[in-house]
């Protein structure tokens, strides 16, 4: 075996790339001085492409497979440079591995609201966000237009530019679609296909394709959403007459469950119930026909004020105004008797309260002192 054959066998190189980062688009095979050995084996796996750059120019693109690099690009190792008479002059060469698989779940979204004209609401502002998928279809073009001499190129370095393209095309597509805002949720698939079709030609200039594009949400400003919620609530209420019956029934239930009202609250609830029953029965004729005109239920009667008295340090009550009138006639209540009703600040003499002072005008006041 000659010394040349020995050195040639020792310097056979295997060039390949395995990646587990899930975001690396391009990786450069590093060698000292960018020198690729004569007869090196190049392994290109499925989902990859290898771009061979020779003396600064794009030479060839290798698809998946096993290749033997037998060119005039024979390296001279640093330790053997004094044997350069055995080799031809070396050429600087680089190999870039390009990942051609799909990169999924990349995010996009509108930074600012997009102004468009809605056929029902007029001018509106909308926001949107979603995901998209990209794949390198032309490794040579992608390397030349985007990567350059970057030794490791990731999706983060190009996703910002793609998002800007998507938002620009999305704004144009939404403004020209004429789809009402309330119907956009039912047409997100069609809108996604329309936007992908508009974005794809521009991405093709970089050697990239967009296999999938998804719109996850389209939303309105918060103030507009609140207005829509009110409009939806009115639609759910429907018949105002039926809504009035429902509200009256709730008021009756609350009054019956209120312990402070006592028997008066129970009577009020019963009266409201009878009034509602009579009204609902009056809506139908003797044979069950619908009455031509629906009657509005009467308002509930006012709640009568009750009073408590304080005599000799003892309190009594509650008393209605009629009960107090009887107590005045019997001499059990005078102008100087202290009284109190819920809502008042404190105990007050009965003669100082206008609505009770009238009770004492029925009987003459006591005679003045002699």
Q: Are residues 28 and 88 in the same domain?
A: yes
Question: 3-class SS at 32?
Answer: helix
Q: Are 286 and 295 in contact (CB under 8 A)?
A: no
Q: Are residues 353 and 270 in the same domain?
A: no
Domain presence at residue 231: no
* pLDDT under 50: residue ranges of the chain: 1-12, 72-90, 263, 266, 285-288
Q: Are residues 21 and 87 in the same domain?
A: yes
The pair of three-digit structure tokens given for residue 66, joined into one six-digit string = 């096993």
- What is the reported pLDDT for 98? 95
Q: Are residues 259 and 311 in the same domain?
A: no
Q: Are residues 162 and 61 in the same domain?
A: no
The Cα-based distances of 107 to 128, 156, 160, 192 in angstroms read 11, 11, 10, 14
Q: Are residues 153 and 133 in the same domain?
A: yes
CATH number of the domain bearing residue 203: 3.30.479.30
- What is the reported pLDDT for 294? 60
- What is the reported pLDDT for 1? 44
Which of 99, 122, 150 terminates a domain? The answer is: 99
- What is the reported pLDDT for 326? 85
Domain presence at residue 122: yes
Q: Are residues 121 and 186 in the same domain?
A: yes
CATH number of the domain bearing residue 337: 3.30.1490
- What is the reported pLDDT for 59? 82
Which residue, chain included where needed, has tokens 């053997």? 80
Q: What distance in Å separates the CA atoms of residue 17 and residue 27, rounded to the nearest whole number?
A: 8
Which of 40, 75, 99 terminates a domain? The answer is: 99
**Burial (CB count <10 Å: 0-12, 13-18, 19+), residue 116:** middle
Q: How far apart are the first and last CA of the chain?
A: 156
- What is the reported pLDDT for 75? 41
Q: Are residues 136 and 216 in the same domain?
A: yes
Task: Examine residue 318 and say whether the peptide bond preceding it is cis (omega within 30 degrees of 0).
Answer: yes
Q: 69-81: string of b/e by CB count within 10 Å (b at 16+)? A: beeebbbbbeeee
Domain presence at residue 21: yes
Domain presence at residue 83: yes
- What is the reported pLDDT for 324? 80
Domain presence at residue 230: no
* β-pair partners for 132: 106, 213
**Within 64-205, where are the H helices?**
139-142, 156-177, 188-204
Domain presence at residue 349: yes
Q: Are residues 34 and 122 in the same domain?
A: no
The pair of three-digit structure tokens given for residue 35, joined into one six-digit string = 């020198």
Q: What distance in Å separates the CA atoms of residue 220 and residue 113, rounded to the nearest whole number?
A: 9
Q: Are 137 and 100 in contact (CB under 8 A)?
A: yes
Question: 3-class SS at 40?
Answer: strand
What are the tens digits of pLDDT across the range 35-51? 666 677 889 999 999 99
Count the Cβ atoms, other than its own, within 10 Å of residue 220: 19
Q: Are 359 and 324 in contact (CB under 8 A)?
A: yes
CB contact set of 302 (below 8 Å; sequence gap of 6+): none
Which of 81, 99, 117 terminates a domain? The answer is: 99
pTM over 0.85: no
> Maximum Cα–Cα distance for the chain, whole Å?
156
C-alpha angle 107-113-117 in degrees, rounded to nearest 5: 120
CB contact set of 195 (below 8 Å; sequence gap of 6+): 166, 169, 170, 173, 213, 215
Domain presence at residue 366: no
Q: Are residues 73 and 148 in the same domain?
A: no
The structural domain count of the chain equals 4
The pair of three-digit structure tokens given for residue 175, joined into one six-digit string = 């403004």
Q: Are residues 57 and 140 in the same domain?
A: no
Domain presence at residue 115: yes
Q: 246-266: string of b/e by CB count within 10 Å (b at 16+)? A: eebeeebeebeeeeebeebbe
Q: Are residues 113 and 198 in the same domain?
A: yes
Backbone dihedral angles phi then psi of residue 219, each to the nearest 5 degrees: -130, 160
Question: 3-class SS at 134?
Answer: strand
Backbone dihedral angles phi then psi of residue 325, each to the nearest 5 degrees: -60, -40
Q: Whole domain around residue 354: which residue ranges?
A: 307-360
The pair of three-digit structure tokens given for residue 8, joined into one six-digit string = 């040639």
The per-type count for the chain, helices as H runs and strands as E runs, is 9, 16
* β-pair partners for 108: 130
Q: What distance in Å separates the CA atoms of residue 40 and residue 209, rounded to the nearest whole number?
A: 32
């Amino acid at each position: 075996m000659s010394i040349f054959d020995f050195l040639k066998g020792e310097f056979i190189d295997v060039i390949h790339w395995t990646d587990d980062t899930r975001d690396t688009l391009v990786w450069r095979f590093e060698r000292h001085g960018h020198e690729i050995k004569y007869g090196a084996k190049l392994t290109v796996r499925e989902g990859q492409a290898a771009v061979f750059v020779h003396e600064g120019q794009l030479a060839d693109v290798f698809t998946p497979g096993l290749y033997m690099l037998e060119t005039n690009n024979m390296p001279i190792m640093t330790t053997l440079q004094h044997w350069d008479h055995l080799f031809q002059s070396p050429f600087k060469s680089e190999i870039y591995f390009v990942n051609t698989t799909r990169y999924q779940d990349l995010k996009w979204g509108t930074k600012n609201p997009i102004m468009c004209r809605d056929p029902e609401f007029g001018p509106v502002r909308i926001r949107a966000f979603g995901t998209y998928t990209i794949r390198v279809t032309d490794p040579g073009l992608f390397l030349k237009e985007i990567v350059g001499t970057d030794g490791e190129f990731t999706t983060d370095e190009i996703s910002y530019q793609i998002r800007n393209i998507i938002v620009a095309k999305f704004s144009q597509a939404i403004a020209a679609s004429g789809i009402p805002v309330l119907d956009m949720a039912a047409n997100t698939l069609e809108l996604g296909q329309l936007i992908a079709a508009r974005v794809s030609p521009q991405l093709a200039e970089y050697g990239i394709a967009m296999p999938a594009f998804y719109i996850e949400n389209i939303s309105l400003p918060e103030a507009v959403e609140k207005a829509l919620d009110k409009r939806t609530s009115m639609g759910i209420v429907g018949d105002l007459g039926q809504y009035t019956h429902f509200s009256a029934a709730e008021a009756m239930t609350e009054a019956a469950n209120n312990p402070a009202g006592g028997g008066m609250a129970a009577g009020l609830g019963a009266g409201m119930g009878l009034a509602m029953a009579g009204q609902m029965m009056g809506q139908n004729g003797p044979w069950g026909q619908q009455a031509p005109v629906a009657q509005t239920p009467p308002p509930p009667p006012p709640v009568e004020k009750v009073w408590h008295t304080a005599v000799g340090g003892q309190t009594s009550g509650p008393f209605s105004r009629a009960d107090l009138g009887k107590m005045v006639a019997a001499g059990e209540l005078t102008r100087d008797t202290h009284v109190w009703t819920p809502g008042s600040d404190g105990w007050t003499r009965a003669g100082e309260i206008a609505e009770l002072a009238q009770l004492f005008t029925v009987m003459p006041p006591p005679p003045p002192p002699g």
